[in-house]
Amino acid sequence: MPTPPAPQASRALRLLAALSVSILTLGSAQAQTPPANLPVLEQQVRTNPTPENQLALGRAYLEAARYRDAQRLFEAVISRDYTSFDAHFGLGQALFALGDLIGARFEFSQLVNLAPERLEAHYNLGVVLARAGQSEAAEAAFTRAIEVGRDKAAPDALASAYRSLADLQRARGAYADAATNYREALTRTPGDVALSLDLAESLFRAESSAAPATGQGAAPATNQPAGQTATSPAGAAAALPYAYAVLSKDPGNVRAASLIADIYASQNLLARGLRELDAAVQAAPLEADKARLLLKRGELLVAAGREREALTAYQGAAQLDRSNAEARYQYGRLLLKTGQTARALEEFSAAVQAAPQRPEPLLGLAGAQEAAGQLDAARASAERAAGLTQDPAIREAADLIAGRVAYRRGQYAAALAKLRPLAARSGSAEVQLWTGLAAYAVKDYAGAVSALEAAAKADPSALVQANLGAAYLAAGRYNEAEATLSGVVAAAPRNAEAWYNLGWALRNLGRDAEARTAFRTSLNLGYARAKGALGN
């Protein structure tokens, strides 16, 4: 039964982005002062522990990152005057810095009750809620902060509220809403580079997500590169001015150039996008930034199916910044795909060293080790990857590698025990294929047919069909074996093993002359076992 080659590493190393929100410190009734003299303030509290002196010392402790001491002072003030806005505000800051989100949420909730007209009360409550993963409640808090501060808050404070609301909306894919709020923030802080690019990206993504799917009533498809989402010209027109405003002042800006390249690629103008990236590479002053731009170049070339050029881009990125885990990973992935296993091992190993807590480089390394025949190492790398995450896709990929390794070692029952649970919950053609191979190897032909039929439904490739035909034959389902294997040899006439199996299907159907022709073809193609079948 044909065994497929070791599969390629294909899961992109994707690094997660954190929400860019932080506690406002500008809501206190106190004016900004030079750095406090802690010994003087501490002496004042000892000799005259008034709420005012305690608040001043508490704020000084905050500035000095002595959060427990700050907590103690603010709690002391609250015990004497529960309505003190500054005390609740400072205590909320201290608890947030200490990672006590429950306590911080309580304090900022008290602020909302004590001073519902204050933007920073609602805003800081939103920050705590966002950090706690309560995005819907955080959006409501930021929205309320905007409502109460729209006509009276300082522009930068109001911009923070708009920006934080937009960050949450963008995170859940509400790009049009995010763009509206980024624009409001930018109006209040003109020239902010990050905001300009946040707005440009949201305008671009809003059009991408709104593009109609191909189908009845949809616009005709273009020759869009695989993996690149089409965006309407209106989306490009809306986003490009903001991105170019940044790039014109900073020609090597990685984020601006990358976004512009993405937009041009979405308009089937890949060459123009690549030229923008090339210009930015020349302008970028830091080698690390040049590497990130080459990484984007490789990504777009892969999406366009131009993998040989992508190899060059990834190689350049890896050479410019040896610590760039993404560049090393992507370079290794393409090296493995093109059969350069030894070099792929080097790149994946470097990626693991650069990002030891990321599971994807370890999975890539496991795939390369498997391809190199380093089966124990492959299994160990896969297990390490699975131990770094709860992501079901990564854990499934790690289990698949473990199952393949067991199969390659001839431990077919162990392989089936690892693979069958995966097949029960996965529609992956690869999972079903290897499950079918393991079932066939332990002579569970009905199980092999079931898994390989599922694989063929997801991926009707010649390899899957050849294995399905062999399983039909072993299960005594000769008509289905003949039909399937006839299709295989028609598509791949030099598949000697498929011709051999077709011969047995035909012989079991009583079509001996056709069977002998199939066996003879198999023998002529170099399959020695066919000689014995011809002698029968």
Residue 260 belongs to a domain: no
Cα 119 from Cα 501, distance rounded (Å): 76
Residue 203 belongs to a domain: no
Residue range 310-318: mean pLDDT, rounded: 97
Res. 469: pLDDT tops 60: yes
Residue range 87-108: mean pLDDT, rounded: 96
Round the average pLDDT of the chain to a whole number and report it. Answer: 90
Res. 13: pLDDT tops 60: no
Res. 230: pLDDT tops 60: no
Q: Which residue has the tokens 């992507």?
A: 330
3-state SS class at 173? coil
Res. 88: pLDDT tops 80: yes
Q: Hey, what amino acid is at 161?
A: A
Residue 42 belongs to a domain: no
3-state SS class at 304? coil
Residue 470 belongs to a domain: yes
Q: Hey, what amino acid is at 281?
A: V
Residue range 437-459: mean pLDDT, rounded: 96
Q: What is residue 221's predicted lDDT score, i.e. its pLDDT?
A: 34
Residue 523 belongs to a domain: yes
The DSSP symbol for 100 reads: -
Q: What is residue 213's predicted lDDT score, i.e. its pLDDT?
A: 41
Q: Residue 234: which pLDDT band, with cuts at 50, 70 and 90?
A: confident
Q: Give per-residue pLDDT as tens, 191-228.
A: 999 999 999 999 999 977 655 443 333 333 333 444 45
Residue range 124-143: mean pLDDT, rounded: 97
Cα 8 from Cα 329, distance rounded (Å): 12
Res. 69: pLDDT tops 90: yes
Res. 339: pLDDT tops 50: yes
- 393 vs 209, more confident: 393
Q: Which residue has the tokens 């805003």?
A: 123
Which CATH number characterizes residue 521's domain?
Answer: 1.25.40.10
Using the Cα atoms of residue 229, residue 232, residue 237 and residue 242 in order, give the sign of their dihedral.
negative
Cα 189 from Cα 247, distance rounded (Å): 18
Q: What is residue 233's predicted lDDT score, i.e. its pLDDT?
A: 78
Domain count, the chain: 1
Q: What is residue 456's predicted lDDT score, i.e. its pLDDT?
A: 96
11-25, 56-70, 101-115 — which is least confidently predicted?
11-25
Residue 282 belongs to a domain: no
Q: What is residue 395's predicted lDDT score, i.e. its pLDDT?
A: 93
Residue 71 belongs to a domain: no
Q: 493 lies in which domain range? A: 460-535
Res. 25: pLDDT tops 80: no
Res. 16: pLDDT tops 50: no
Q: What is residue 416's predicted lDDT score, i.e. its pLDDT?
A: 97
Residue 465 belongs to a domain: yes
Q: What is residue 24's predicted lDDT score, i.e. its pLDDT?
A: 61
Res. 12: pLDDT tops 50: no
